[in-house]
Amino acid sequence: MDGSVRLEEVVMRFGDFTAIDKMSLEIGSGEFFSFLGPSGCGKTTLLNMIGGFLTPSEGRVSIGGEPMAGVSVNRRPTAMIFQNLALFPLMTVFENIEFGLEVRGVDRRTRRATAERLLALVALEGVGQRRVTELSGGQKQRVAIARALAVEPRVLLLDEPLSALDLKLRQHMRSELKAIQRKTGITFIYITHDQGEALTMSDRVAVMSAGRLQQVADPMTLYRQPATGFVAAFVGENNRIEARVIDRLGERVRLDAGALGELEGRVGDEASLGGGAEVALYVRPEQLRPVAAGTSGDASMGGSTLVAEVESVSFEGAWLMVQARLAGSGEALRVQLGSEVSRSFADALVPGEAITLGYDPAETVVLPRDGSPRVDEATGEVVEAADV
């Protein structure tokens, strides 16, 4: 069964508000594809258009090469798992799973055989006679998946289904969902604002902002090679340093960072930056390492160092998180240190003390400054470019 999904110049307007703006995208059959973005960016609207709950104002949605214009929700080869799961509390697990098949006129024996097969798939054998109210959060989640799979969809749409679960259960269900997707071979389209979910489960991720695609890539590329300032700020943690390009040699650029002196960085894949361009250098917390004061670091760091004043140190198990302020600019800096590194520099990790940090320019990214968002220090949320 072809479970590919194609969006062609799709637009969704609600009055004067444009929720989705000319989006084109292809999702492969059998792919685990996630839409990632902050609340209000249009993720749920997009999912509802694919599922047939909303009709695009412009553009076309196709599934398996077939245009979905005019095709109602119950006739589309899709099934949807909502955030609240929408299970029937007064029905048994069997009855919940069989409901869609009963509506379609499938006989009782076939319905029960299908329900038992799907309960085995989601590792819930033996609970078919229980009521939904007797199940744990994780069990309810798996029942919702089994019910959706019962109607044999080509595409399964998942609207932040793990958001109501506690952290440990969410982490467990990530691996469960991916395993189920691999067993069934069905196209999964998952929306979330949780980057951990998207990066852990997905074959590819589309990062959205204000109804537009910022970047579509596999999780590793998304993390290591963000294409825009928004992606760099939203996916994982990043330290952002404003600078101006002095000159460029291949993928490397030499930067004038004002009071911070000269720094180096790697040009983003899509960036075309010449001398004098205003840019932002993004350095992730785990890429920073303490070096002896007055040195330029080891050869791998390319001579790029930052001096900062330690504000606080937090123990987080496998690593230490250091909050600091850059000398000269006063900008906040986050540093993540493994236990061995932190032990070697324990004396320097004292609030109020200066620390010199080095980084490898090849592990950074330099992107155009125009339109780049910032992260609010108080809330940790991304501030859109329009609000800067």
Q: What is the pLDDT of residues 21-38, one digit of tens each?
A: 999 999 999 999 999 999
Instruction: Tell me how far apart the terminal alpha carbons of the chain are, to the nearest angstrom.
Output: 47
Give the architecture-level CATH label for domain 5-224.
Answer: 3-Layer(aba) Sandwich (3.40)
Q: What is the pLDDT of residue 378?
A: 43
- Judged against a pLDDT cut of 80, whether residue 164 lies above it is answered with no
Q: Taking all residues of the chain, what is their mean pLDDT, rounded to a whole number?
A: 86
Mean pLDDT of 97-102: 91
**Residue ranges of the chain assigned to CATH 3.40.50.300:** 5-224
Give the pLDDT band of residue 315 (cuts 50, 70, 90). confident
- Judged against a pLDDT cut of 70, whether residue 373 lies above it is answered with no
- Beta bridge pairs of residue 6: 26, 62
Q: What is the pLDDT of residue 291?
A: 85
CATH topology of domain 237-387: OB fold (Dihydrolipoamide Acetyltransferase, E2P) (2.40.50)
Of the listed ranges 25-39, 88-102, 302-316, the least confidently predicted one is: 302-316
Q: What is the pLDDT of residue 59?
A: 96
| C-alpha 275, offset from chain centre | 33
Of the listed ranges 25-39, 63-77, 180-194, 327-341, the least confidently predicted one is: 327-341
Q: What is the pLDDT of residue 86?
A: 82
**Residue ranges of the chain assigned to CATH 2.40.50.100:** 237-387
What residue type is 246 in one-letter code? I
SS3 content of the chain, % helix, strand, coil (to 5): 30, 35, 35
Q: What is the pLDDT of residue 329?
A: 82
Question: How far apart are alpha carbons 124 and 78 in whole angstroms?
Answer: 23
Q: What is the pLDDT of residue 369?
A: 82
Q: What is the pLDDT of residue 384?
A: 46
Mean pLDDT of 301-328: 84
Q: What is the pLDDT of residue 33?
A: 97
Q: What is the pLDDT of residue 371?
A: 52
- Judged against a pLDDT cut of 60, whether residue 140 lies above it is answered with yes
**191: CB partners within 8 A, 6+ apart:** 34, 35, 36, 43, 44, 46, 47, 158, 159, 160
Give the pLDDT band of residue 41 (cuts 50, 70, 90). very high
